[in-house]
Every structure is written in C-alpha cells, then in structure tokens.
Amino acid sequence: MDCTKVKETLFLFFDNEMDQTDQSQFEKHLSDCPQCARRMRYTRQLLILVRRSCGRQAAPTALRLRIVTRLRLGRGAQTLH
Ligand SMILES: [Zn+2]
C-alpha cells in the first residue's frame, strides 16, 4: 500500500469499512510512514471535532469529513483555521 492508497482509504478505516487485508497493510504503512501517521492523527482529531460540532444532524460524518479534508488538502496543509 502506498501513500495515495492510504489517503484514499483513510475514511474506510475510520468507518470500520476496511477489509482485514487492507487494514493490516494500512497499519503497516502507517508504522513505516511518518507522513501518513501524521495525517491519520490529524484526521482523527478532525473527526472528533466534526462529530462534536455537528452532533447527529445532517450529512454523515464521514462524508462531511471527506469534503473538509479534500478542501483542505487542495489548498495545502497550512490552512488550519
Ligand atoms: Zn505514506
């Protein structure tokens, strides 16, 4: 599994929708790749924030998060507000 694949499947991991094989490859990649490990931690934080701020309403959390992250990644990593 490479960084691109990890990025694409990150949300499956958080949604517990990843299959076992992918998940073990995913976790192996994280332990080898500080960049993805950091993204993972960051995404987890974001997920917590999103859940806290929007409760149970509206878009499913994973979808919201996917949108937010895509916007943010599109502008680079420095757009934390
Ligand atoms: Zn990576």
Instruction: Kindly report, residue by residue over 29-48, the tens digit of the pLDDT.
Output: 999 999 999 999 998 888 88
C-alpha 2 to ligand 1 mean position (Å): 6
State the pLDDT confidence band at 79, using cuts at 50, 70 and 90. Answer: very low
- How far apart, in whole angstroms, are the C-alpha atoms of residue 39 and residue 20? 21
CA of 23 to the centre of ligand 1 (A): 14
How many Cβ atoms are within 10 Å of 38's Cβ, its own excluded? 12
Q: Residue 20: enclosing H or E segment and its boundaries?
A: helix 20-32
pTM for the whole thing?
0.60
pLDDT over 60 (residue 21): yes
Residue 63 scores a pLDDT above 70: yes
Within 8 A by CB and 6+ apart from 18, the residues are 9, 12, 26
Q: Domain residues of the chain, as ranges?
A: 3-74
Identify residues whose C-beta is under 5 A from ligand 1, the ion: 3, 33, 36
> Which sign does the torsion angle of CA 25, 17, 80, 5 carry?
positive
Q: Distance, CA 22 to ligand 1 centroid (Å)?
A: 14
